[in-house]
Amino acid sequence: MNLFDYFRPASLAEAVAAGSQPGSAYLGAGTNLLDLMKGGVLAPSRLVDLTHLPDLNRIEQLADGSTRIGALVKNAALAHDPDFARAYPAVAEALLSGASAQLRNAATVGSNLMQRTRCAYFTDPASACNKRQPGSGCDAIGGENRAHAVLGWSDHCIAVHPSDFCVALTALGALVEIEGPTGRREVAMTDFYLLPGDTPEKETVLEAGEMIVAVRLPPEAAAFAGHQRYLKVRERTSYAFALASAAAALKIENGLIVEARLALGGVATKPWRTQAAEAVLVGATPGKEAFENAAEAAFAEAKPSGENAYKIALGRRVVTRALMMAAAGTPKRMPALPASPFASETGANAHV
Amino acid sequence: MSDTIAIPAGATPASRTRFGSNSGQPMTRRDGVLKVTGAATFAADNHPEGLLHAVYAAATISRGRVTSLNVDAARAHPGVVEVLTPENRPPLALDPDTKPYPFAFLIEVLQDDTVRYAGQPIALVVAETLEAATEAARLLSPTYDAAPARVGLDAVEPYDPEAVGVGSPPTTEKGDIEAGLSAASQRVDARYETPGQYHNAMEPHAIVASWDGDRLTLDTPNQAIVMSTGSFAAWFGIPAENVTIRSPFLGGGFGSKAIIVGPQILAILAAKMLGRPVKLALRREQMYGPVGHRGATRQDFRIGIDGDGRLTALDHLTTAATSTFEDFIEPASNASHDLYATPALSSRHKAVRLDIGTPGPMRAPGEASGSAALESAIDEAALAAGLDPLEFRLRNYAETDPASGKPFSAKALRECYAEGAERFGWSKRPLEPRQMRDEAGRLVGWGMGTALFPAPMFQAKATATLRADGTALVETAGADMGQGAWTALHQIAADGLGLDIDSVEFHSGHSGLPDGGIAGGSGHTATAGSALHAAGTDVIAKLADLATNDENSPLFGAGNVGVEAQDGRLYRADDPGRSESYGDILARAGLSEIEGAGQGGRDPASAEERAMFSHGAVFAEVKVDPDLGQIRVSRLVGAFAAGRIINPRLATSQLYGGMIWGIGFALHEEAVHDRRSGRIMNANLAEYHVPVNADVPTMDVILVDEHDPYVNALGIKGVGEIGITGTVGAIANAIWHATGVRVRRFPIGLADLIDGASAH
Amino acid sequence: MNLSMTLTINGERRDIVLDDPRVTLLDLLRERLHLTGAKKGCDRGQCGACTILVDGQRINSCLALAVSYDGAAITTIEGLAENGTLHPVQQAFIDHDGFQCGFCTPGQIMSAVGLIAEAQAMGDPERIREAMSGNICRCGAYQGITEAVLDAQARLAGSKAETAA
């Protein structure tokens, strides 16, 4: 880790002022930033420690029915907040399927949104990576890319966005509240992340000095509580990143889907909301046929970026299954293995 | 020895003990309190006065030369004390490119600017703090003259190795393979592949080196403490007795801490150069380079089966990866030597030289990879014969060792099959695949595999000292890397002395003690245990001499009928009413203590006459999501016969551990090399997956009774490695049974089970 | 640059001056305060051997910048036993053989203590396996670990009930 200056601002204004200076990086819990600094991937000259700022660690119900989550709220605290988990069960399930209990206790909501890709060529400073070093090339292309993106990639970058949380947030139309040198603004999750195009180093719309202060779930997001799930397929049962995941939320009235939300993880360069698939679902009878049609639509534009064609077939099935699970209804209790194909509400594997 | 770890008295009830009453008891670990309170000291926990921190820079190319290092930048970093490169590295007493002693591995100690694999140390930074050393190592920013990397089994032409494993012949042939194959009514020809796997002990290799003149003290985890003093000493041209190794606890070894590795030598060198103690702990990613691994294999089988489901030929050809500069050829084909009866047997090995770190022994070397492939291939053969896999194995049960023709010293494999199958419910298994579903519609499959591991012994020494108060001290430089040596060896030692375990003080883990041999090969308990037991019986013999020749002893004159040692007293063998306490015998003789010594090792005649193995049978249930392909092992039952079990609680735990390694082998573990750079792209614990708790279902281990009168006087075999064998195949076979898909490349992943999968 | 901070470690208030902002909580404990119970298995939040409690919550101390935790209360494995009596989780790990080499054990135990305080898994072994999956044990003591957590949870619930009565 490089030497850096450590600065602990007393106010948001102080934070933004410090964070606007070249070489500064905002420190949340540090579970991702410190990891990348230890790996020599990032070397900020100054860390602006946000963790002692007041007022950013609250979960609030707003009068209009939205829920506002402060950027410093811990992932675990959010997932285990009973009101939140009841209103947005797929978000809680996604949170609990990510990383480990220890990391969820440390990592913050804001940091999760700013999490960088797990692409091994990004985290290996000896490899060419346009995201880490613009213009250096992409060694993931033609390299070991079984886990890479099949949606949203470009000839400059095929790295997958690693978050689970953001997939569920994206499905539910969350908004990101941003504070910066020019004041406050808000951006929809779907617009917050950028496609790699020919500037993969630019991952979000954040400008220099801007920071996330909160994430907001709009009033309409609460309408899906009865039918929403997050499903995540991985190479081991827990403590692994997604090979493919999906957050599915349905509003079902009189036996018909009246509104649908669907976002994909593990397969795209950003949390991938698929409105084409949502459109297929609206007006359909919940069932395998409609869900398979939606899955087709979700992956209509997908193409392998390397040795990962299986992810297209897999992704479609994940979508279909996630929709089936959502249609079946949100479980009363968080499954023992959140988001896992081996999840069982009752702990059926309980033969100690 | 003042700086050994004293094991506190356990909670064992001091009931009246009989000779042999400590062994066989499921005692909890004697080092348990130390380990649950954080008081157990591992190498990197030491902080001698004046300590410096060392971090090495590792090559990021796989072949070529280092053309520059920014030493100035590293030196300029605050806190940096020294930077060692090939240009200023002080001389060593040995040439690292020549085998210094048998079974040594050639190592990289900054001898030149050559890079032989990614991850090779290319410079060492020493600093006042760990933070400074770590960053300065990064600041070295090496440049290279790189040549194309050769990784993967197809990168180069194979060659015929002279030996495989540790000095084993590469080829064993019995009978006429071609005739056997011609005579077969069914053939299975199959190719299996296993990837490079890394030990990943939770404790990264670490060393704290302190010099005092020409005397060297090392805190470093080591599986062969006394032998290693000589090895370390040789590098520095000092006598072995000048080297002290303290290795009270190893944070896992699995074979990777049995040999001397380059980073250890560099740390010692830096300490000598700077006149201050130096600590070097490998970073996790550095565990994927200079400290060995399980080499990748490709295994080709040709199996012939007659109309009765009996083997007519078994041909097993392994092609194994080794480094460009050193030989460790995974002896995977040898797994076919000792399991199934066949009139024609052939095991052969080829090797390829790649730009990788040298492989080495890793938990069940040869046997694990070989068993994974063999047990899968045997399952294919059972299918070809139309037989239940267990029935097929029973039809091909080897009554004598297939390769050598020798009788087995003991073989309770039939009992393992029977007890394991019964516990698992194997008889309900449908023959055809894809027949079972769980309540959620997941595919369920059942598979089995035979487990086998040799029961070797090495050489060990021990001493025992009986003290005037009737307590004793026993000493041997054994190594506890989790297998439970602190407990099991202590139990055996107490039995040798006829004492309750709490009356016996046990010292181990220090090179100043008698040579406890190597903790490896599943032979440590047998070897060091035999030495300890012998040391105890030596003391008892001397004590008996004193008593039976002393007119004032109630045992006077009992020399012909003998005495028995029990609960701190000697008893006349023919009259338990006549006895005397150890303390009284010593007191009357005016002695403050009696010393005894013992050795452990195999009787050569016995070894010549018999084949010695532990056996087992593993049964696995897996669940597979029919659409998504994700796999989970839901049940494992293993039945093992491994001679006399000293501590059933600890032996069971070791077998669990081996079986969990089987889960990792079958489903998770694989080092992924970039084919262009040769670098391992998942050299970390987030992407090189080992099983986590949620991957491990409830497991069941059955310890099958086995009396083996030939392995050693105590009848002890080992259980450290056998658990992984059998399990891998059982899981692979269960996946086939669940899905109907036979995957012949490990690890088996969901991409293998998705229709139209293009990966793998 | 010297950074002053205060930590309460195992109940004892410690004023600490850091001469280097890079020091993690783990390295502070191990290399500077010589509290070596917490172990460094990966240094990257991938193994859990460094798990400690911060303000009662289990976290990976390797990915925690020490200076950022100014004012926090920390519990390490060294602070778990009281007056020489093992914590019920420690005793349960011994009784159920929830470890072999012992290297990951301090992290496992601190994680288990945190898990029990979270009260999410309760008596469900499947939930315990999931909740303990951030602690890798290469020796493969998972069965004993799961049993130990179940048992310790029951023991703690029992003693709580006794206190209440």
Q: Tell me, what CATH number does B269's domain have?
A: 3.90.1170.50
Q: Is B49 a catalytic residue?
A: no
Give how far the C-alpha of residue B371 lies from the chain's centroid of Cα atoms, to the nearest Å. 16
Chain B interface, best mutation among A139, A314, A318, A323, by max B CB count within 10 A = A314
Only one residue has tokens 């199958």, namely B421
Structure-token pair, residue B743: 């995957």
Average pLDDT in the B272-297 region?
Answer: 98
Sign of CA dihedral A37, A43, A48, A50: negative
Cα distances from B390 to residues B332, B357, B429, B613, B639, in angstroms, run 23, 39, 11, 20, 14
Residue C57 within a domain? yes
Q: Same domain for B612 and B572?
A: no
Q: Does C21 touch chain A (CB under 8 A)?
A: yes
Q: Which residues span the domain enclosing B320?
A: 297-456+608-753
Q: Same domain for C106 and C141?
A: yes
**Closest listed residue to residue A213, CA positions, set A108, A116, A115:** A108
Structure-token pair, residue B188: 């299975």
Tens digit of each residue's pLDDT (9 = 90 or more) over A207-258: 999 999 999 999 999 999 999 999 999 999 999 999 999 999 999 999 999 9
Q: Is A341 within 8 Å of B628 when comparing Cβ atoms?
A: yes
B7 class by beta-carbon count within 10 Å (0-12 exposed, 13-18 middle, 19+ buried): buried
Q: Same domain for B262 and B307?
A: no
Q: Does A35 touch chain B (CB under 8 A)?
A: no
Residue B320 within a domain? yes
Only one residue has tokens 């045997």, namely B378
Q: Same domain for B102 and B229?
A: yes
Q: Where in chain A is the domain with CATH 3.30.43.10?
A: 5-52
A222 class by beta-carbon count within 10 Å (0-12 exposed, 13-18 middle, 19+ buried): middle
Which chains reach chain C with 3 or more Cβ–Cβ distances below 8 angstroms?
A: A, B
**Under a CB-based contact definition with an 8 Å cutoff, are residues B323 and B353 in contact?**
yes
Residue C165 within a domain? no
What's the CA gap between B365 and B454, in Å, rounded? 11
Q: Same domain for C72 and C100?
A: no
What's the CA gap between A169 and A173, in Å, rounded? 6
Concatenating the DSSP letter of every residue in B450-488 gives: EEEEE-----EEEEEEEETTS-EEEE-B---SSS-HHHH
What's the CA gap between A147 and B334, in Å, rounded? 35
What's the CA gap between B680 and B290, in Å, rounded? 13
Q: Same domain for C30 and C72?
A: yes
Q: Does B627 touch chain A (CB under 8 A)?
A: yes
Q: What is the pLDDT, as a whole number, of residue A348?
A: 38
Tens digit of each residue's pLDDT (9 = 90 or more) over C56-93: 999 999 999 999 999 999 999 999 999 889 999 999 99
Residue B10 within a domain? no
Assessment of whether the complete model's pTM goes beyond 0.90? yes
Q: At residue B368, does pLDDT exceed 70?
A: yes
Tens digit of each residue's pLDDT (9 = 90 or more) over A67-109: 999 999 999 999 999 999 999 999 999 999 999 999 999 999 9
Domains of chain C: total: 2
Question: Quick one: closest CA in B to C76, which residue?
Answer: B38
Q: What is the pLDDT, as a whole number, of residue C163?
A: 67
What's the CA gap between B141 and B119, in Å, rounded? 14
What's the CA gap between B490 and B509, in Å, rounded? 13
Q: Does B76 touch chain A (CB under 8 A)?
A: no
Q: Same domain for C110 and C144?
A: yes
Q: Same domain for B221 and B304?
A: no
What's the CA gap between C165 and C162, in Å, rounded? 5
Tens digit of each residue's pLDDT (9 = 90 or more) over A148-165: 999 999 999 999 999 999
Question: Angle at CA B400, nearest 5°, toward B398 and B405?
Answer: 125
Q: What is the DSSP letter of B427?
A: G
Structure-token pair, residue B662: 């089987």
Residue C164 within a domain? no
What's the CA gap between B552 and B452, in Å, rounded? 54
Q: Same domain for C67 and C98?
A: no
Q: Same domain for B402 and B440?
A: yes
Q: Same domain for B593 and B490?
A: yes
Which residues pair with residue C56 across a beta bridge?
none
Q: Which residues span the domain enclosing C20?
A: 3-79
Q: At residue A335, does pLDDT exceed 70?
A: yes
Tens digit of each residue's pLDDT (9 = 90 or more) over A39-60: 999 999 999 999 999 999 999 9
Q: Same domain for B484 and B629?
A: no
Q: Is C102 within 8 Å of B201 when comparing Cβ atoms?
A: no
Q: Same domain for C47 and C71?
A: yes
Band of pLDDT at residue B21, cut at 50, 70 and 90: confident
Min distance C162 CA to chain B CA atoms (Å): 26
Q: What is the pLDDT, as a whole number, of residue B361?
A: 97
Q: Same domain for B445 and B532?
A: no
Which chains reach chain B with 3 or more Cβ–Cβ distances below 8 angstroms?
A: A, C
- Facing residue for C48 by CB, picked from A76, A102, A344: A102
Min distance B496 CA to chain A CA atoms (Å): 37
B707 class by beta-carbon count within 10 Å (0-12 exposed, 13-18 middle, 19+ buried): exposed
Domains of chain B: total: 3
Q: Where in chain A is the domain with CATH 3.30.390.50?
A: 225-328
Q: Same domain for B475 and B450?
A: no
B584-593, long-range: CB < 8 A, 24+ apart: B585/B543, B585/B546, B585/B547, B585/B550, B585/B553, B586/B466, B586/B467, B586/B468, B586/B543, B586/B546, B587/B468, B588/B550, B588/B552, B588/B553, B589/B546, B589/B550, B591/B468, B591/B546, B592/B467, B592/B468, B593/B465, B593/B466, B593/B467, B593/B468
Residue B167 within a domain? no
CATH number at residue C27: 3.10.20.30
Q: At residue A351, does pLDDT exceed 80?
A: no
What's the CA gap between B659 and A301, in Å, rounded? 43
Min distance B207 CA to chain A CA atoms (Å): 22
Structure-token pair, residue B32: 């348990």
Last residue of a domain, one of B581, B600, B619: B600
Q: Beta strand pairing status for B593-600 and A183-188? A: unpaired
Cα distances from A40 to residues A46, B139, B528, in angstroms, run 15, 10, 46
Question: Angle at CA C110, nearest 5°, toward A106 and C30?
Answer: 80
What's the CA gap between A279 and A276, in Å, rounded? 5
What's the CA gap between C160 and C165, in Å, rounded? 9
Q: At residue A347, does pLDDT exceed 60?
A: no
Q: How many CB atoms lie within 10 A of CB B47?
A: 15
Min distance B135 CA to chain A CA atoms (Å): 5
Average pLDDT in the C17-38 region?
Answer: 98
Q: Does B131 touch chain A (CB under 8 A)?
A: yes
**Under a CB-based contact definition with an 8 Å cutoff, are residues A105 and A74 in contact?**
yes
**Under a CB-based contact definition with an 8 Å cutoff, are residues B53 and B278 in contact?**
yes
**Under a CB-based contact definition with an 8 Å cutoff, are residues C65 and A1 in contact?**
no
Q: What is the DSSP letter of B647?
A: -
Which residues pair with residue B159 across a beta bridge?
B351
Q: Is B699 within 8 Å of C143 when comparing Cβ atoms?
A: yes
Q: Same domain for C7 and C53?
A: yes
Q: Same domain for C95 and C46?
A: no
Q: Same domain for C73 and C97?
A: no
**Closest listed residue to residue A247, CA positions, set A269, A268, A222, A272:** A272
CATH number at residue B383: 3.30.365.10
CATH number at residue C99: 1.10.150.120
Average pLDDT in the A292-319 region?
Answer: 98
Q: Same domain for B643 and B724?
A: yes
Band of pLDDT at residue B561, cut at 50, 70 and 90: confident
**Closest listed residue to residue C86, CA positions, set B37, B12, B27, B29:** B37
Sheet containing B172-174, strands listed edge to edge, beginning at the edge strand earlier in sequence: B172-174, B345-354, B311-323, B297-305, B186-194
Q: Does B307 touch chain C (CB under 8 A)?
A: no
Residues 6+ apart with CB under 8 A from A274: A262, A263, A264, A297, A298
Q: How many CB atoms lie within 10 A of CB B657?
A: 29
Residues 6+ apart with CB under 8 A from B560: none
Class in CATH terms, A225-328: alpha beta
Q: What is the pLDDT, as a whole number, of residue C162?
A: 67
What's the CA gap between B719 and B453, in Å, rounded? 8
**Under a CB-based contact definition with an 8 Å cutoff, are residues B642 and B710 in contact?**
no
Radius of gyration of chain A (CA): 20
What's the CA gap between A157 and A130, in Å, rounded? 7
- The full length of chain A comes to 352
Question: Quick one: closest CA in A to C149, which residue?
Answer: A352
Q: What is the pLDDT, as a whole number, of residue C159?
A: 80
Catalytic residue among B135, B380, B621, B721: B721
Band of pLDDT at residue B2, cut at 50, 70 and 90: very low
**Under a CB-based contact definition with an 8 Å cutoff, are residues A189 and A91 in contact?**
no
Q: Same domain for C46 and C112?
A: no
Which positions in chain B touch A239 (Cβ < 8 Å)? 692, 694
**Closest listed residue to residue A33, CA positions, set A114, A101, A102:** A114
Only one residue has tokens 């039952």, namely B637
Band of pLDDT at residue B100, cut at 50, 70 and 90: confident
Min distance C161 CA to chain B CA atoms (Å): 26
Average pLDDT in the B54-64 region?
Answer: 98
Element (H, E) at A183: strand A183-188
Q: How many CB atoms lie within 10 A of CB A339?
A: 30
Which positions in chain A touch C120 (Cβ < 8 Å)? 80
Class in CATH terms, A5-52: alpha beta
Q: Same domain for B705 and B583?
A: no
Q: Is C125 within 8 Å of A337 when comparing Cβ atoms?
A: no
Residue type at B295 in one-letter notation: G
Q: Same domain for B505 and B615?
A: no
